[in-house]
Amino acid sequence: MSFEGKTVLVTGGTSGIGRAAAGQFGSAGAQVIVTGRDQTRGREVVDTIESGGGQARFIAADLAAPGGAQQLAQAAGQVDVLVNNAGVFPFGPSHEIAIDDVKAALDFNVVAPFTLVAALVPGMVQRGSGAIVNVSTMVASFGLPGMSAYGASKAALELLTKAWAAEYGPAGVRVNAVAPGPTRTPGTEPMGDGIDQLAATLPLGRAADAQEIASTIVFLASDEASFVNGAILPVDGGRVAV
């Protein structure tokens, strides 16, 4: 897979799945834009990509701040591939989650990707090509106690994936999503043993490594997936199949 001459923006590229994806895009020849809030981690990801012969830059952006997504899109400029990976996971019983946290999850997991697409897709349409990959979750497809707000926000992102595929496919822009199962990342470290308990429910019986999710993201963004549009690809060890 080659991304030579392409600019790829990965939100949440400073950690976990996004970091792994940024590295793989860099190895495949992309000019990678890594974004997140943490300058130190951002610099580390850029240095790793550059030390492997790739090209990358970091743009600091807080997607939870008013205007943050819009400012990121402006700073990024022309983007050929957008990976909406950054996400927040407000776990807990529905009657205990603060409504403000529910709204924040919807803002972060739905409205921020929406804003980035609205800002960046016109350029893709004008050029007649582009790819967008959204990062959902297996729990957008079934009810899991404690993950209602999170799952609902990602289910909205999945519907947007299909809507955008219909809207922009005719202009040569493909839009797809991955729906990962439990994956070891800095973001899931606080789950402790919980991730192993969840992983035990998958046919493959283990949690994923971030690289395994990243390689699917890179595939969906690549020309090798040139006829894949509007797909929600489970990368969950078989969990939603059973």
Ligand X SMILES: NC(=O)c1ccc[n+]([C@@H]2O[C@H](COP(=O)([O-])OP(=O)(O)OC[C@H]3O[C@@H](n4cnc5c(N)ncnc54)[C@H](OP(=O)(O)O)[C@@H]3O)[C@@H](O)[C@H]2O)c1
Q: Residue 169 or 205: which CB sits closer to ligand X?
A: 205
In the list 36, 113, 130, 234, the residue contacting ligand X (rule: CB under 6 A) is 36
**183 sits near ligand X (criterion: CB under 6 A):** yes
In the list 28, 59, 63, 156, the residue contacting ligand X (rule: CB under 6 A) is 63
Q: How far apart are CA 175 and CA 112, in angstroms?
A: 16
**7 sits near ligand X (criterion: CB under 6 A):** no
The answer for residues whose C-beta is within 8 angstroms of residue 90's C-beta and 6 or more apart is 97, 101, 102, 104, 105, 149, 150
Helix (H, G, I), strand (E, B) or coil at 83: strand
Point out the catalytic residue in the list 150, 154, 220, 232.
Answer: 150
Shortest Å distance, C-beta 88 to ligand X = 6
Report phi then psi at 81, rounded to 5: -135, 125
Mark whether 168 is an active-site residue.
Answer: no
Q: Residue 24 or 137: which CB sits closer to ligand X?
A: 137
For 107-121, letters b (16+ CB in 10 Å) and e give bbbbebbbbbbebbb
In the list 1, 27, 29, 37, the residue contacting ligand X (rule: CB under 6 A) is 37
**185 sits near ligand X (criterion: CB under 6 A):** yes
127 and 228 Cβ atoms separated by less than 8 Å: no
Question: What is the biggest distance separating any 2 CA atoms in the chain, rounded to whole angstroms?
Answer: 50
**237 sits near ligand X (criterion: CB under 6 A):** no
Q: How far apart are CA 226 and CA 220, in angstroms?
A: 8
**180 sits near ligand X (criterion: CB under 6 A):** yes
**223 sits near ligand X (criterion: CB under 6 A):** no
Binding site for ligand X (CB under 6 A): 12, 14-18, 36-38, 41, 61-64, 85-87, 89, 135, 137, 180, 182-183, 185-188
Q: Which residues are catalytic?
A: 150
